[in-house]
Amino acid sequence: MVGLQWGDEAKGKLVDLLADHHDVVVRYQGGANAGHTIVANGVTYKLSLVPTGVIRPEVTCVVGNGVVIDPEALWREIDTLSRQNIALDGRLWISDRAHLILPWHLEEERLTEGTAAATALEAIGTTRRGIGPCYRDKAGRAFALRMADLVDDPQRFRALLARIVPHKNRLLQTFLDDFTPFDAEEIAHRYLQHAERLRPFLTDTVEWLHQARQQGRRLLFEGAQGAMLDVDHGSYPYVTGSNAACGLASGSGVPAQTVRRWIGVVKAYSTRVGGGPFPTELTNELGQRIREVGREYGTVTGRPRRCGWFDAVMVRRAARIVGVNELAVMLLDVLSGLPSVNVAVAYEDDSGRRLTAPPANPDRLAACRPIYQTLPGWTEDLTGVRSWSDLPQAARDYVEFLAEAIEVPVTFVSVGPDRLQTIYKDDKDQTR
């Protein structure tokens, strides 16, 4: 399951629904920048690093090697879940190869996201969880540490920190006026406490997942963020640090060709948190209305999300990259009551040329004007609709239009946050 927009496509609800038909839920990229709120039996669960499947006792959860982990944040989440009576022993496995977020990653992000240094871009508007700097160190290798470094040998961990910290202190002191230098021993002490607690959850998740597959266990891969935030294929540089579109194989060690269903998740409209070009953005009252009706405020940061019309140019591109063979259209109910609805089917660039794919240059993308197809709206409240045939004709036409524009069939339509508020387009589909 991969989001095809800029994240927040309500993937959490779909994972929760599909978890019934799977034995294992796997996260493979991103970190504590993702956030899901799940309400089950009147209890609210807030999840960030731990896969959404965790609230179902029969499901095992795996955090793969491609995820970046702040051990403190992970421990807090595990601790909160156990206080909510969610037992995790033997059903949460964390990769020993996942990279560690370290305290300087947050400071480095303060540096690039603040005004202290001139960078090649405007502030990205990140979640400030150290995600980008951690992936930068992972690719750079010289200053990177992984979960195995933390738990295997405390002396070695201390020694590695003692080598890295002076470099990081010098860099940050140069650019940040109010920077307090890090103390390697203090960090070692703090992190090693978490190491003790996290050790029982650590394993070689690649071997674990291959064994699970051999035993015929059904795996569900939960993408975080969305394809348009992918570091390679998204609206670079206003993206996250990981391969949100196509990181499944690299971030889990399970070959992509073994995955049977690729479900692309979209909202019936677009949202984006943080900076970066957004051609179909609605900065008017209509955008405000979508924000209020769709409760479009960030789960991790609480920021109001930018809202706009559905962008089929972006989503078609995302669907191709990911290779989705099904679409789930979420939050269709939010568009009820509009006289008409727009879908961007192409862009016109600043020299008047028609584009059917987003340009690479962010300034050119920002200057693109969407070319809209306008469709009739519908007035009916959709939140009580449970079957495709009971949807108003205009709503069905809208969903069919999206499927044609993206060239992928729709299998699920969601009309509210509850798992019952889900329409299977094919009545016989009880999600195979």
Catalog residues that contact ligand IMP under the rule CB under 6 A: 6-8, 33-34, 124-127, 129, 131-132, 224-225, 229, 240-241, 273-274
End-to-end CA distance of the chain: 15
Question: Catalytic pick from 36, 99, 105, 194?
Answer: 36
Selected catalytic residue, list 8, 70, 96, 333: 8
Length of the chain: 432
Q: Which amino acid is at 111?
A: L
Q: State which residue, 47 or 254, has the beta carbon closest to ligand IMP.
A: 47
One-letter amino acid of 363: D
Closer to ligand IMP by CB, 48 or 336: give it. Answer: 48
Residue 204 falls in which region: left (phi positive, over 0), alpha (psi -120 to 50) or beta: beta
Beta carbon of residue 363, minimum distance to ligand IMP (angstroms, whole number): 17
**Please, which residue, 14 or 184, has the CB nearer to ligand IMP?**
14
Map residue 65 onto helix, strand or coil. Answer: coil
Closest CB to ligand IMP among residues 100, 160: 100
CB 15 within 8 A of CB 51: yes
Place of tokens 């998204």: 234
HEC letters along 206-260: HHHHHHHHHCCCCEEEECCCEHHHCCCCCCCCCCCCCCCCCCHHHHHCCCHHHCC
Instruction: Find residue 39's DSSP bridge partners.
Output: 44
By C-alpha distance, which of 393, 386, 394, 396 is closest to 418? 386
Alpha-carbon distance 267 to 272, whole Å? 11
**Number of C-beta neighbours around residue 285 at 10 A:** 8
Query: Which runs of consecutive H residues, i.e. helices, occur in 265-361?
Result: 285-293, 312-322
- In the bound complex, what is the minimum distance in angstroms from residue 94's beta carbon to ligand IMP? 19
Minimum CB separation of residue 132 from ligand IMP in Å reads 4
Is 8 annotated as catalytic?
yes
Could you please report the per-residue DSSP string of 130-170? SHHHHHHHHHH-TT--BHHHHHH-HHHHHHHHHHHHHHHHH
Q: Is 183 a catalytic residue?
A: no
Q: Which amino acid is at 331?
A: L
Minimum Å gap between C-beta 426 and ligand IMP is: 29
Least distance from ligand IMP to the Cβ atom of residue 157, Å: 26
The tokens describing 131, both together, are: 């995600």
* Nearer Cβ to ligand IMP (227/345): 227
Number of H helices, E strands in the chain: 13, 20
Question: Strand pairing of 60-63 and 24-27?
Answer: parallel
Quick one: angle between helices 103-113 and 131-140, nearest 10?
110
Write down the least CB distance from residue 129 to ligand IMP, Å: 5
**Residue 369 Ramachandran class (φ > 0 left, ψ -120 to 50 alpha, else beta):** beta
Minimum separation from the CB atom of position 301 to ligand IMP (A): 7
Least distance from ligand IMP to the Cβ atom of residue 61, Å: 18
Active site residues: 8, 36
